[in-house]
Amino acid sequence: MSDDDDGAEADGHVIFSFLVNSSKPIPSLQGMDGRKCPTRPDDDHLYDVYENIFDEPDGSARASRVDTSIHEAVDKLVATGIDLNYLQGEDVTVRAYFTFPVGPETIRAEALQRLASCHATIWIDANG
């Protein structure tokens, strides 16, 4: 492992974003940040439900923070009153984006189940 790899793992930089895209406006999500009114006819409606960016060099503590972030994101979405079944519509996508440091990471099973409950697709990128 090179010194650069050690630095990437040591910083523990994590980005988690939870977004909903839809070809139609979703009234219950209108209070969220994002692009609620498309600027062009082929643009969609983008709702930024949640974002957390942090640095945690300890793997166990990082896993706990990721877990907490996922639960907070899903709780925030559920609190809007949206019918979670609506989110699996053909014109709606729910995405959980993660950027992790290089190396193994842990996303706990219950957190993954919560993401699945709102039909989220998970995207993972390595920071490094």
- Which of these, 70, 83, 18, lies nearest to 49 by C-alpha position? 18
Q: Domain of residue 38: give its range.
A: 3-127
CB 124 within 8 A of CB 100: yes
* β-pair partners for 126: 100
pLDDT computed for residue 35 by the predictor: 61
CB 96: neighbour CB atoms within 10 A? 25
Q: Which pLDDT tens digit goes with each residue over 52-66?
A: 999 999 999 999 999
pLDDT computed for residue 11 by the predictor: 82
pLDDT computed for residue 9 by the predictor: 47
pTM of the model: 0.85
Residues of the chain with confidence (pLDDT) below 50: 1-9
pLDDT computed for residue 30 by the predictor: 86
Number of domains in the chain: 1
